Amino acid sequence: MLKAVRAQLIERGWYRSFCNKATNKLRHVYTSGVENGVVSVATLQTLQTLAPLKRGKCAAPDHKRREAVSDEDIESVRPHLAQNHRDLFDLLRATGARPSKLRGLSMQQIDTTEAIWFADLNEYKNAHRGLTRKLFFGPKSQLILRRRPTVGPLFAIDQYWFATIIKRACLAAEVSPFVPYALRHTKATSERDGMSIESAQAVPEYSQPSMTARYSIKMDRLATEAAARCG
pLDDT band at residue 201 under the 50/70/90 scheme: very low
pLDDT of residue 99: 86
Whether residue 200 is predicted with pLDDT greater than 60 in this model: the reply is no
Q: 103-107, 170-174, 199-203, 204-208: which has the highest mean pLDDT?
A: 170-174
Closest Cα to residue 46, out of 92, 78, 3, 75?
A: 3
pLDDT band at residue 220 under the 50/70/90 scheme: low
Give pLDDT tens digits for 109-120. Answer: 999 999 999 998
Whether residue 214 is predicted with pLDDT greater than 50 in this model: the reply is no
pLDDT band at residue 202 under the 50/70/90 scheme: very low
Look at 128 and 34; give whichever has higher pLDDT. Answer: 34
Whether residue 103 is predicted with pLDDT greater than 70 in this model: the reply is yes
How far apart, in whole angstroms, are the C-alpha atoms of residue 186 and residue 69?
6
Q: What is the largest CA-CA distance in the chain?
A: 60
pLDDT of residue 195: 47
DSSP string of the chain?
Answer: -HHHHHHHHHHTT--HHHHHHHHHHHHHHHHHHHHTTSS-HHHHHHHTTSPPP-TTSSSS--PPPP-PPPHHHHHHHGGGS-HHHHHHHHHHHHH---HHHHHH-BGGGEE-SSSSEEEE-TT-TTGGGT---EEEE-HHHHHHHTTS-SSSBS----HHHHHHHHHHHHHHHTS----TTHHHHHHHHHHHHHT-HHHHHHTTT---TT--GGGHHHHHHHHHHHHHHH-
Mean pLDDT of 56-62: 92
Mean pLDDT of 48-64: 91
pLDDT of residue 213: 39
Whether residue 168 is predicted with pLDDT greater than 70 in this model: the reply is yes
Sign of CA dihedral 165, 117, 224, 194: positive
| Mean pLDDT taken over the chain | 82
pTM for the full model? 0.62
pLDDT of residue 159: 87
pLDDT of residue 222: 60
Burial grade of 198 (CB within 10 A; 0-12, 13-18, 19 or more): middle
**In the chain, ranges of CATH 1.10.443.10 domains:** 71-230
pLDDT of residue 226: 64
Whether residue 179 is predicted with pLDDT greater than 60 in this model: the reply is yes
Topology annotation, domain 71-230? hpI Integrase; Chain A (1.10.443)
pLDDT of residue 7: 95
